[in-house]
Structure 1
Amino acid sequence: MGLTLAEKIWRAHLVHADLIYLDLHLLHEVNTPIAFDALRTAGRRVRRPDLTLATEDHLVPTRDLFQAIDEPAMRRQAALLAENCAEFGIEIYRRGDPQRGIAHVIAPELGLVHPGMTVVCCDSHTTTMGAFGALAFGIGTSQAEHVLATQTLPFPRPKTMRVTVTGTLAPGVTGKDLILALIAEIGTAGGQGHLIEYQGAAIEALSMEARMTVCNMTVEAGSRAGLIAPDETTFDYLRGRPHAPTGPEWDAEVAYWQTLRSDDDAEFDRDLVLDGDKISPFVTWGTNPAQGVPLDATVPDPASFADPALRAAAERALSYMDLKPGTPLRGLPIDAVFIGSCTNGRIEDLRAAADVLRGRTVAPGVEVYLVPGSDTVRQQAVDEGLDNVFAAAGIQLRTSGCSLCAAVNEDRLRPGQRAASTNNRNFEGRQGKGARTHVVSPAVAAASAVAGHLAAPKDLEA
């Protein structure tokens, strides 16, 4: 019997029993101080500082590059990352470094993530890197200590799930809509206990950035990792990046990477088929990513959920979101828009927003947070003149960071504010205490900023 892609990578990294070797460990400010304290107490060193990279992303302000972190606890936590990296010999990208940004954005754009690698970070959205055919997943603080000390991690043979997306996505339908449609279909626990591999014509047609969006939100379906087999799209993206191989080494690596796909006779523990032709722009209405529907739909009635737990969750969500069943989502007034995050803060996402905003202005009273995923992305946007498009629309192109995705920095919505947001989660309080989040694609977010309510780009042409 053949092997799945995930099984091939897992087997190639087995050290002993269920212990796997890790090729790359990413760090950021949140949670990591505890792991370093544990190392220090035990008198241990970092096993492979050369395979470890840190970046400031979660706690940094984004309005201005030189803006100080106001909250003392956050300021101290950010300082601890720099101090720990200096003590243990780990490279760190700090504010002012042109390569700094969100961990899951800079690792791919620097060419640090290659097909067949194992990648971890103390952050659930490490799943992003699975778009390259890598086994990438989030870990906890105690696991981070284990990785720092040994460059290994216990990881039993995973169960696998294949999601095949057939057909062709319609114009205006994005990777974000695809993954939201999948999560709405299978629920937030639909992938639990499995690693999801995405296959099918609609997946193969996606850009690398769209693939990263899909894998990024795989964790929202309960799966620890999402993977897409590498192909020419992958190789074209990696070619010429700072840490990508060159010359004969590149040719040898590509020859190996081409073997990284599930065998034809591989058996998956679960199989699901999604019709890409039927997917349309999506929006969440509730307080978890599975509570989503097409933008053309209305807010569902909790009574329509047969499962008592889902019904109760819907009732609570509608109370928090201040919505009534039957309310059309298209046209729902908003107060704020967030375009950014490790889900949708790449140059392709900024271009999509600029395409909608060009020649238009933001509706009165709508606050827009436009935050690139890295300083490289920001500079590319400036080089392409996108900053002028945003400025003409009344939007500041901020410096990079997690910003409103996590709201553990100084970017927060106020209680009761309703936002169209390109981040990955719409939990209660995710973007600020009492804030109400509708997760959408960058194009829908930009159109909503212009309209002052949830809208698709085509609505602006009427």
Structure 2
Amino acid sequence: MSTGTLFDKVWDLHTVGILPSGQTQLFIGLHLIHEVTSPQAFSMLRERGLSVLFPDRTVATVDHIIPTDNLARPFADSMAEEMLQELEKNTSANNIRFYPVGSGRQGIVHVIAPEQGFTQPGMTIACGDSHTSTHGAFGAIAFGIGTSQVRDVLASQTLALSKLKVRKIEVNGKLNPGVFAKDVILHIIRKLGVKGGVGYAYEFAGTTFEQMSMEERMTVCNMSIEGGARCGYVNPDQVTYDYLNGRDFAPKGEAWDQAIEWWNSLRSDADAVFDDVVVFDAADIAPTVTWGITPGQGIGISDPVPTPDTMPEDERAIALEAYQYMDLKPGEPLQGTKVDVCFIGSCTNGRISDLREAAKVAQGRQVAAGVKAFVVPGSERVKVQAEKEGLDRIFVEAGFEWREPGCSMCLAMNPDKLEGRQLSASSSNRNFKGRQGSASGRTLLMSPAMVVAAAVTGKVTDVRELM
């Protein structure tokens, strides 16, 4: 029975049945695929003699393996070329919409679906990628899934899932200058922990989220998975509708008016019952940087690296591991730590608003000697828009490299990799050991503006000092 939350309403509307296991068989309205998790899934379909049930509900692009400096085919990396050829073959054979490089619509899957209006309120969305939670910004229920589940959605357009509890995370107030959506979600994960959301969907509510743009909301929902939540969402409102209106695949004319009426009905009711409620004050959030090897190991930029005695006992072992791996000493400031590489991009922070904020800090400044800094737009459309606004020139004049769209150094399944023990200031979403392509490379997560501050000073810097 619905408790009046958007999550429950959308879940109930998409329930096909309850399976003998007790799980729900959930209909998936939109299935997004890319070149990494789909080849094996298509292969499994062929082995069983199955076809794609609803090809018109699947959208494909290439993002993870794409080089961002040289797009000449065949790619220098033979495995990347093979994966792309496999995606081209599978989408063609199954009549699936595919956006290749040069189509004007290619990019990171979680950037292109919202910008083209595929992502809409009230949908269930799945993709073989952890950060599918991004799409929850629209009031959708969006899940990252594994390869065998990609197969299931292709074959049946459904998933077997256990229903989640819902935690309301309320943040109220106006963010201070120099504090962005990335800082908000890093703060939430820092406070609730990387396992705090296990078994939950997160509903982000309160005046802070109401004031955010759609792209800022996407940043927050994108990283709900890093806090252990299966998905995160924001109730749809006028901000959502203004963003969607006129986009390629958004409803038009009379259908648009009907859509808004339906979308409004999906919002969590005023008397909705939540399994848990947590409240934060926006004024307490500072520019936040990770110091360790999980997204939960973060601190305000002015804080020292925490000491073990300030932590819960169950977090001390991984803290000791993090000090050693990151070459950091407890109790010492993170600010002033020398950086080697600065990366702006990813499905967390590769949108046009991210590049605008970064360019404001970069304008009239120079990347410090010895620092490699580069900017990777999240999609071909973002790249075109940024170049139209002259953002590319600001970055290039400041000493940044301006690249082609793709996932780039977030996961480093492409030529963009850290080398050896390099320390990266990154606007991406994960700081796990070896995440950015080097088994011993180190990552500090921060907002795009903070990445620029690090790039131009050569060290971890409070962006507020440059504003």
The equivalent residue for 1:323 is 328
* Mapped partners of 1:372, 1:322: distance in 2: 31
Deviation (angstroms), 1:327: 2.1
Q: Which amino acid aligns with 2:214?
A: M
Please give the residue correspondences for 1:5-404 in structure 2 after superposition, counting only pairs within 5 Å. 5-17=6-18, 18-66=24-72, 68-307=74-313, 309-404=314-409
Query: Partner residue of 2:21?
Result: none
Cα distance, 1:67 vs structure 2: 6.5
Quote the Cα distance in structure 1 between the aligned partners of 2:155 and 2:218. 29
Cα distance in 2 between the residues matched to 1:272 and 1:168: 18
Partner of 1:236, secondary structure, is helix
State the shift of 1:21 in Å: 1.0
Structure 1 residue ranges (4+ consecutive) displaced by more than 6 angstroms after TM superposition: none
Aligned-partner SS, 1:126 = helix
Opposite residue 427 of structure 1, the aligned amino acid is: F
How far 1:68 sits from its partner (Å)? 4.7
What is the aligned-residue RMSD (CA, Å)?
1.2
Give the conservation status (yes or no) of the 8 Å contact 1:302–1:311: yes
CA deviation vs aligned residue, 1:407-430 (integer Å, no higher than 9, x gap):
111110111101110000000000
State the AA in 2 paired with 1:156. Answer: S
User: Does the Cα contact within 8 Å between 1:25 and 1:53 map onto a contact in 2?
Assistant: yes
Deviations 1:30-67 (A, max 9, x none): 12111101100100000011010111000000013336
323-332 or 360-369, larger mean C-alpha shift = 323-332
- Indicate the larger mover: 64-73 or 259-268: 64-73
Deviation at 1:443, TM superposition (A): 0.5
Deviations 1:90-144 (A, max 9, x none): 1111111110000000000000011001100000100000000000110111111
Q: Which runs of 5+ in 2 are unaligned?
A: 19-23
SS at match of 1:154: strand
| Residue identity (%) | 48
- Taking structure 1 as the reference length, what is the TM-score of the superposition? 0.98
Tell me the amino acid that sits aligned with residue 82 of structure 1: E
Tell me the amino acid that sits aligned with residue 376 of structure 2: V
Preserved CA contact (<8 Å) 1:61 1:68:
no
Alpha-carbon distance in structure 1 between the residues aligned to 2:395 and 2:220: 26
Residues 439 and 205 of structure 1: CA distance in aligned 2, closer, same or farther (over 3 Å): same
1:330, CA displacement in angstroms?
Answer: 1.5
Find the aligned partners of 2:34 and 2:293 in 1 and give their Cα distance: 26
Amino acid at match of 2:318: A
Matches of 2:74 and 2:378, distance apart in 1: 19
Whether the 8 Å CA contact 2:37–2:150 is kept in 1: the answer is no
TM-superposed deviation, 1:2: 4.1
Q: Distance in 2 between matches of 1:79 and 1:369?
A: 28
Distance 2:241 2:71 in 1: 33
* In structure 2, C-alpha distance between the alignment counterparts of 1:73 and 1:383, rounded to whole Å: 34
Could you tell me which runs of 5 or more consecutive residues in structure 1 were left unpaired when the two chains were aligned. Answer: none
